[in-house]
Each structure stands twice: as structure tokens, then as C-alpha cells.
Amino acid sequence: MKEPRQEVQETVTVVGHTTQKRQEVLVPRRQGVPTKTIIPRVIRYVTGVLLVVLGLRFVLALLGANPTNAFANFIYSASHPFVSPFFSLFGYSIHYGVSQFEMFTLVAMAIYALIAYGLVKLVTITR
């Protein structure tokens, strides 16, 4: 495909004589980011943020973080809606402030990663 061209004309005066100078300039087309690459990026970004929050929850629970601490409370509260569907897999008995290996959090992380992978593949299937 041909690049669009833009003609630029200049007039130059040299010691009383007028000379015309013609210049042709290539104007590159606007290169935007195609939608096919934006959607997978958004899916990966959102999934990455979710997995970081869930990973922090797992580490805090494993170390027995104090739930009255503002940061720990924020992480527990923010991640609760995402791990609650998996509570009944391994018998839900949560005790904050006590070191606990939250297997359901690891399962949630794996499931959400697989869902994101599937969505990205579904969106990019036509490539």
C-alpha cells in the first residue's frame, strides 16, 4: 500500500531572484494498537493483579498475619470474594492470626489463571 504523500512548497528569495523549491514529504500513517492486542493485555493485567492479591493472602495466612493490621485486613477483605467459592473444597476453617496453609487459595489462583489463559486464547483464536 502506498504511503500518503504531502507536498510542501517553499519560496526562497536569493538576492532579488525568486526561486521555487518543491519538497515532497512522506507522512506516515497513524499506527494505533489493534483491538486484538488490547483485549488480551487487559485480561492478563487484571489476572495478574488478582493473582498478586491472592498470593499475598496465601503468604499472609501462611505466616499468621494479624488480621487487625490494616494491610492484612485489606488483603483478606479484597481477596475474600475470589476465594470464597473454593472454601468448601477442603473444609473451611479459617483462623486469622494463626499460621495456616490455605490450599483453597492456591486452587483459586490456579483456576483463575486457567480461565484467563482460556479467555486470551479465545480472543486471539483468529490470529
Domain map (residue ranges) of the chain: 35-123
Question: Quick count: other Cβ atoms within 10 Å of Cβ 40?
Answer: 17
Residue 107 has pLDDT above 90, yes or no: yes
The Cα 22–Cα 20 span in angstroms is 7
Phi, psi of 18 (to 5 degrees): -105, 125
- pLDDT of 116 reads 97
Average pLDDT in the chain = 83
More confident site: 117 or 2: 117
Q: What percentage of the chain exceeds 70 in pLDDT?
A: 72
Beta bridge mates, 8: 23
Q: E strands of 4-64, at which residues?
A: 5-14, 17-26
Residue 53 makes CB contacts below 8 A (sequence gap 6+) with: 75, 78, 79, 82
Reported as a single tens digit per residue, the pLDDT across 20-42 is: 666 666 666 666 767 678 899 99
